């Protein structure tokens, strides 16, 4: 099998890349390990309203479960309310919608397929069909890796640089969908000293909510993920916000290393695989779509001109994301001043005001 561009991962980044390429008439194959892009959901599902500049969700209203007008940040000492217009998505519909936009324009979507090995000096990817267990070999001119926070592709051949493009530090997240006891029009963020180096969230979905926490597990805290989550659910139930009974449950990793190296020869990385999630908030849906779209644009220009322009892709990506992600990564150091569970509400409040992007202190220091 041969293609101009092979894309690994049909999440928002990979599908946005495929969509851009297909709109430009570039042949591409999009492979996805899941049976259906977007399912199961592993996301808190918030996205800023300016997603419509890239993917117009007014054309697919069912991809949005609920609009939110505000973001509330609770430090236990204080509750702060900010303008925070955005959507709580139905991610399974959102992801599938972008993949189908690409397929309708000409992308060949291959699901249930696991990318195993890249032979760089042959421009070849070896994949395995998860149903039949058959091996698939795909030759490409350009390869895009949009395989999420952790990809397990083995790189072999004369060059081995690409295998070292990895995220290094992660937030470990766990989330349930549960019933709300009252409807909300805010995305709720909670900082507590029992949620080390992360935060809890309640993101409303009409009569339900995504309720979860993300923590950084390191040598500086003694609280594990499930203990912390149990404490958070208990607090939310006591506050009369949720029922607490799990309708569904998910977990996953959120990279917080900030921007990685994003290219290697004719290989480009985008989305979570490129380290584009915000090191404080963990937000990554919009940056995934932006980076995927940019990857498609620059590969199209590369093929049109006959010159590899991925260095220009990297330059453009860094011009957008490098400074804000580096700032956020630096701000994370505020959380390491002492053992996290020993922080008083006053200390934690001060740290959050310096470290969360909604606060003026974040931008003034």
- Residues with Cβ within 8 Å of residue 201, at least 6 apart in sequence: 44, 187, 188, 189, 190, 210, 211, 212, 213
Which bin fits 164, alpha (ψ -120 to 50), beta or left (φ > 0)?
alpha
Overall pTM surpassing 0.85 (yes/no): yes
pLDDT above 60 for 160: no
Q: Which of 3.30.300.30, 3.30.9.10, 3.40.50.970, 3.30.1490.100 would CATH assign to domain 170-254+340-364?
A: 3.30.9.10
Range 2-73+84-167+257-328: architecture per CATH: 3-Layer(bba) Sandwich (3.50)
Q: What is the pLDDT of residue 222?
A: 67
**Structure token pair of residue 329:** 């990564």
Strands 46-48 and 79-89: antiparallel
Model confidence band, residue 14 (pLDDT cutoffs 50, 70, 90): very high
**Roughly what angle, to the nearest 10 degrees, separates helices 310-332 and 285-305?**
160
Percent of the chain with pLDDT over 90: 83
Q: What is the pLDDT of residue 336?
A: 84
Closest CA to 185 of 155, 209, 150: 209
Domain residue spans in the chain?
Answer: 2-73+84-167+257-328, 170-254+340-364
pLDDT, tens digit, 9 for 90 and up, residues 274-285: 999 999 999 999
What's the CA gap between 149 and 38, in Å, rounded?
A: 15
Q: What is the pLDDT of residue 154?
A: 78
pLDDT, tens digit, 9 for 90 and up, residues 292-309: 999 999 999 999 999 999
């Amino acid at each position: 099998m041969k293609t101009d561009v092979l894309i690994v991962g049909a999440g928002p980044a990979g599908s946005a890349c495929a969509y851009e390429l297909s709109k430009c008439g570039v042949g591409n194959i999009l492979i996805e390990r899941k049976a259906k892009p977007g399912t199961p959901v592993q996301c808190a599902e918030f996205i800023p309203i300016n997603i419509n500049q890239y993917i117009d969700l007014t054309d697919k209203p069912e991809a949005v479960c609920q609009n939110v007008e505000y973001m509330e940040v609770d430090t236990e000492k204080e509750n702060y309310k900010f303008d925070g217009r955005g959507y709580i998505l139905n991610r399974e519909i959102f992801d599938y919608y972008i993949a189908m936009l690409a397929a309708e324009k000409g992308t060949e979507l291959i699901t249930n397929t696991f990318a195993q090995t890249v032979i760089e000096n042959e421009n070849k990817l070896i994949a395995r069909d998860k149903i039949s267990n058959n091996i698939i070999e795909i030759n490409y001119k350009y390869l895009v890796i949009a395989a999420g926070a952790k990809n397990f592709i083995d790189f072999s051949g004369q060059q081995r640089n690409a295998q070292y493009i990895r995220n290094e530090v992660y937030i470990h997240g766990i989330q349930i969908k549960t019933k709300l006891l009252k409807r909300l029009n805010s995305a709720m963020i909670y900082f507590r000293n029992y949620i080390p180096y992360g935060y809890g969230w309640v993101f409303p979905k009409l009569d339900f909510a995504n309720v979860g926490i993300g923590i950084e597990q390191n040598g500086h805290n003694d609280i594990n993920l499930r203990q912390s989550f149990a404490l958070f659910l208990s607090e939310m139930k006591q506050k009369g916000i949720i029922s607490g009974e799990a309708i569904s449950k998910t977990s996953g990793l959120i990279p917080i290393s900030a921007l990685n190296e994003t290219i290697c020869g004719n290989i480009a990385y985008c989305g979570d695989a490129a380290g584009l999630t915000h090191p404080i908030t963990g937000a990554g849906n919009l940056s995934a779509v932006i980076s995927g779209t940019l990857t498609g644009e620059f590969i199209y220009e590369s093929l049109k001109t006959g010159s590899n322009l991925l260095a220009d892709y990297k330059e453009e990506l860094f011009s957008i994301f490098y400074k804000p992600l580096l700032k956020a990564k630096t701000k994370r150091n505020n959380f390491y001043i002492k053992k996290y569970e020993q922080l008083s509400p006053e200390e934690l409040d001060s740290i959050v005001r310096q470290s969360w992007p909604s606060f003026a202190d974040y931008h003034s220091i």
